[in-house]
Structure 1
């Protein structure tokens, strides 16, 4: 879901972001996690349920998305 980011707070930049590209921020709202482009904060926010975000993070940590 793409939504306005007005209800999200506590935005923090991803530790994987760098100065030239691939910059994302994560923010939080009741029951939701928002992801937006650091360099285009007005460009919209992707919203995920907290459970979907936890599942995604777990899969990242387990290497489920690694190229084989």
Structure 2
């Protein structure tokens, strides 16, 4: 069964920018795609993976 992401959105900080990513809901996780090339598809994460990523961003572990 193929599940399609719903509710695609990008960060409000992106405003009119086009060089960013969009996030969609998919089951208990998230789907991520590039706004510049939506036709290239998306990748998905589990809810646990997504929560770990968000935590790392919030705690500046990528800086």
TM-score normalised to structure 1 length: 0.74
**Could you list the runs of 5+ residues in structure 1 that have no partner in the other structure?**
none
Please state how far the C-alpha of 1:32 moved relative to its aligned partner.
2.4
Local SS of the residue matching 1:63? coil
Please state how far the C-alpha of 1:14 moved relative to its aligned partner.
2.4
**Could you list the runs of 5+ residues in structure 2 that have no partner in the other structure?**
none
- Structure richer in helix, relative to its length: 2
Residues matched between the structures, number: 61
Equivalent residue for 1:43?
Answer: 40
Equivalent residue for 2:25?
Answer: 28
- Structure richer in strand, relative to its length: 1
> Using CA pairs below 8 Å that are at least 6 residues apart, which structure has the higher relative contact order?
1
Q: Which runs of 4+ in 1 moved over 3 A?
A: 15-18
Q: 1:12 aligns with which of 4, 9, 16?
A: 9
C-alpha RMSD of matched pairs (Å): 1.9
TM-score normalised to structure 2 length: 0.79
